Amino acid sequence: MTDVQRSLVLVKPDGVRRGLSGEVLRRIETKGYTLAAVELRTATAEILADHYAEHEGKPFYGPLVEFMLSGPVLAVVIEGERCIEGFRALAGATDPTVALPGTIRGDLGRDWGLAVQQNIVHGSDSPESAAREIGIWFPNL
């Protein structure tokens, strides 16, 4: 039995600014996942309000949205067996300082005291979140 899934991956503005989009895509493809959609875009306040709706009202919400509006984002839909769990393992811990070597955040992330926002990538955390997030970023997919 296989569990082929789709997941949303975002290369956040810090990753795009630092020229890491290609490295992130290389790691995704090396892991064996397929790129179903890739688009460099500037997020809007509306997209981010939908994407981060569950965090509205939390202290980090405003700074997170402001950061995500600070530059282009590479939005990617990946496909593959257990790709949601697999990409989150590939991404590493949210805090780049404690993310293990070999992970995207462990190898490429920087700790500028902004680990929650500026940590290179976002990946969906469940099949339900993936479906919701893909619908926000790629409504025609």
140 assigned ligand-binding residue: no
Given the residues 78, 80, 122, 124, the one annotated as active site: 122
Question: Would you say 42 is a known binding-site residue?
Answer: no
6 annotated to a ligand binding site: no
Cα gap 34→7, rounded to integer Å: 11
Nearest to 141, CA basis, from 35, 22, 46: 35
42 vs 83: CA distance, rounded Å? 25
Residue 55 is among the residues annotated as catalytic for this protein: no
The verdict on whether residue 17 carries a ligand-binding annotation is no
- Please give the positions annotated as active site: 122
Annotated binding site for ATP: 12, 60, 88, 94, 105, 119
Annotated binding site: 12, 60, 88, 94, 105, 119
